Amino acid sequence: MKLGFLASHNGSNMQAIIEACKTGALQATPAVVISNNAESGALARAKRESIPSYHLSSKTHPSPERLDRAILDALLAHQVDIVILAGYMKKLGELTLKRFEGAILNIHPALLPKFGGQGMYGIHVHEAVLAAGEHETGVTIHLVTEEYDSGAIIGQENVPVMPGDTPKSLQERVLKTEHAYFPKVLQKIESGEMAIPGYKMPTSQCPDR
């Protein structure tokens, strides 16, 4: 199973998945990293891990259509099976969404459908959770569609909101859960325990029925 990553900033979830691949906990190959930010930590991580990487953005491709095509071409060139959005702050284009329909995963730092949609990212999510007086939050892994945070939910993991939590302390605890949970979900997909519509296991890997 070959993984393609799109990330805008630090790429810590990407790194957690890479580490799972390196230890053998996840039988997958990090195939390519794409970032819209030439100075992103994700590209630096890719370089350290010797993973092919690209800066593709409105600066390299001012036309949205050509940018979409460049992203798709990079994913196809590296024979990506599943696309991982690891803190990617841009919407994917129509070509990429169509080609990888049902095989693009995003992780959101709340229990969707709560606290999702445009503008709900990073610290803003945790501020909203605390403002709403929630006693529980968590992480959601979902399929990516043309609308923010609206795709089918693949899995969720709960995280308690503790007395005295600040947005920052809550963010740190949720992020720790993200790092542990995302590789586990990918492992279930790779093993056939969990199915997503855009990925079919190679016949040689299918579990006995």
Task: Tell me whether the omega of the peptide bond preceding residue 163 falls within 30 degrees of 0, making it cis.
Answer: no
Q: Which residues are catalytic?
A: 108
13 Cα distance to chain centroid: 7
SS3 of 165, please?
coil
CA distance 129 to 91: 24
DSSP state for residue 30 in the 8-state scheme: E
CA distance 51 to 82: 16
- Return the closest-CA partner of residue 36 out of 76, 90, 83, 75: 90
